[in-house]
Structure 1
Amino acid sequence: MKSIIIASTSTLHGGSYLEYLLPTLQNHFKDCKTILFIPYARPGGISHDEYTKKVSEAFTVININVKGIHEFESPEIAIENAEGIFTGGGNTFLLVTQLYKNNVMQLLAEKVKSGTPYLGTSAGSNICGLSMQTTNDMPIIYPPSFQTLGLIPFNLNPHYLDPDTNSQHMGETRETRIKEFHAFNSIPVLGLREGSWLEVKGNMIVLKGSLKARLFKQNQIPEELETESDLSDLK
């Protein structure tokens, strides 16, 4: 049975890395002594080793060890043997490129669908949808495909921001960008605000966290979803 946490962000303003999620993660990874961390989304400024160390320090609080996928000779074997998996944030274009380059996109999907607990934040959440086409990230590299894990039957827009009515910025809003996506695609898109996440248990998908989420469907008025909303039938 699928067991997935899909979070908008890893860090809330004023908090430390993963702090707000740790009580949820302690239960989510309760049967794991060690989890596999995938740092592929980080484009620069911090190495895979440094990124993994940061994650490890956060999980130490709940007595879980962390090992980076880059530390293994074979990424495929690392995923096959993982007790739990966490894919962190960064750039979704880079993350998807690296997953395909290392031949683990399909394997990762199968592993999570078979019941291995998974956590995604930001870019690691983007890849849980049907495609990465609703990411906010710059296309710094060209992935072989926009198709991602397909763990849920819709797309996500993590870090969703509402328009600032006091701003003089006249450029496109997130809502405008998502409507542009829907000019050519019928896949629903869920805008996840900071502090919100999806909890997936088998076929059940429930919105968690402190804020509402904004649901976009093609040719329909966007809808605000309350915390604890059931999205299991969304497709």
Structure 2
Amino acid sequence: MKKVIIASTSTLHNGNYLDYLLPTLKNHFEKVKTLLFIPYARPSGISHDDYTRKVSEAFAQINITVKGIHEFENPKEALQNAEAIFTGGGNTFLLVTQLYKTEIIETLEKVVKNGTPYLGTSAGSNICGLTMGTTNDMPIVYPPSFNTLGFVPFNINPHYLDPIEGSTHMGETRETRINEFHHFNSQPVLGLREGSWLEVIGQKITLKGDLTARLFQKNETPVELETGSDLSNLN
């Protein structure tokens, strides 16, 4: 049975890394002693060790030890033996490229669908949808496929931003880009605002957090979803 948290972001304004999520994560990872962290969304030049250290400091507050997947000779085996898994933010194109390059994307999907607790933030949330096609990131590398993990039967747009009333910015809004996506793709897209997340327990998908989310479906008017909304039947 899946046990997944899909969060828009790792850090809120004026907050520390994962602070706002720690009460939820303490329950989500209730029996976990050691967590496996996937730092692949950051270029290796931005040290995976440093990124893992930052994650370790956050999880130490709820008495969980963190090990980076890059520390293991056999990443597939590390996933198979993991008590829990966290994929952090960065660039989704890079993350997905690395998941395919290291040949662990299928293993990651399998172990989480079989019940290993999972947390994703930002890029680590993008990959929880059907594809990475609604990421906000630049294509700095080219992955073999845009297909991702499918922990939910729709796409995620983390860091969703509404148009700013009175703004003179003439570029595309998030809504415009998602509408463009729907010219070529049929799956729904959930715009997750900062401070919101999805809790996935088995087949049940619930919106959590302090803010609403915005749901886009092809050829339909976008709708606001309140905290506590059930998205289990969305497809």
User: What TM-score results when the alignment is normalised by the length of structure 2?
Assistant: 0.99
**Secondary structure, aligned partner of 1:94:** helix
- Partner of residue 118, structure 1: 118
Whether 1:80 aligns to 2:80 is yes
| Secondary structure in 2 matching 1:6 | strand
Superposed counterparts of 1:83-232, under 5 Å: 83-232=83-232
Counterpart for residue 52 of structure 1: 52
CA drift of 1:45 comes to 6.2
Structure 2: any 5+ residue segments left out of the alignment?
none
Instruction: Provide, for residues 48-89 of structure 1, a one-character-per-residue CA deviation record: whole Å limited to 9, x for no partner.
Output: 000000000000000000000000001111101000000000
CA distance in 2 between counterparts of 1:68 and 1:44 reads: 13
Q: 1:3-22 maps to which residues of 2 (within 5 A)?
A: 3-22=3-22
**Residue type matched to 1:71 in 2?**
E
- Equivalent residue of 1:120, what SS? strand
- For 1:187 and 1:39, locate their aligned partners in 2 and report how far apart those are by CA, in whole Å: 28
Q: Which amino acid aligns with 2:206?
A: V
Query: Counterpart amino acid of 2:215?
Result: L
1: distance between equivalents of 2:45 and 2:12?
21
Quote the Cα distance in structure 1 between the aligned partners of 2:96 and 2:166: 36
Deviation at 1:43, TM superposition (A): 2.5
Higher alpha-carbon deviation: 135-144 or 162-171: 162-171
RMSD between superposed Cα atoms in Å? 0.7
Q: Measure the CA separation in 1 of the matches of 2:72 and 2:43.
A: 20
For the residue of structure 2 that corresponds to 1:183, the secondary structure is: helix
What's the CA shift for 1:136? 0.2
Structure 1 segments unaligned to the other structure (5+ residues): none
Question: Could you tell me which amino acid in structure 2 is paired with residue 160 of structure 1?
Answer: Y
Secondary structure of the residue aligned to 1:56 is: helix
**Pairing 1:9-48 to 2, within 5 Å after superposition:** 9-43=9-43, 46-48=46-48
- Cα distance in structure 1, aligned partners of 2:46 and 2:225: 36
Q: What are the superposed Cα offsets for residues 122-170 of structure 1, whole Å, 9 maximum, x if unpaired?
A: 0000000000000000000000000000111000000000001132101
- Supply the distance in 2 between the matched residues of 1:9 and 1:45 (Cα, whole angstroms): 22
Structure 1 runs, 4 residues or longer, greater than 4 Å off: none
For 1:147 and 1:117, locate their aligned partners in 2 and report how far apart those are by CA, in whole Å.
21
C-alpha distance in structure 1 between counterparts of 2:203 and 2:118, whole Å:
15
Distance 1:31 1:145 in 2: 35
Rounded Cα–Cα distance in structure 1 between residues aligned with 2:150 and 2:11: 25
Q: Distance in 1 between matches of 2:166 and 2:139?
A: 29
Matches of 2:98 and 2:45, distance apart in 1:
17
Q: Partner of 2:183: helix, strand, or coil? A: coil
CA distance in structure 2 between the aligned counterparts of 1:106 and 1:71, rounded to whole angstroms:
20
**Percent identity among equivalent residues?**
74
Change in CA separation of 1:103 and 1:45 when aligned onto 2, cut-off 3 Å: closer
Question: What whole-Å deviation, never above 9, does each CA across 1:148-207 have from its counterpart, x for those lacking one?
Answer: 001110000000000011321011000000000000110000000000000000000000
Structure 1 residue 46, shift from structure 2 partner: 2.7
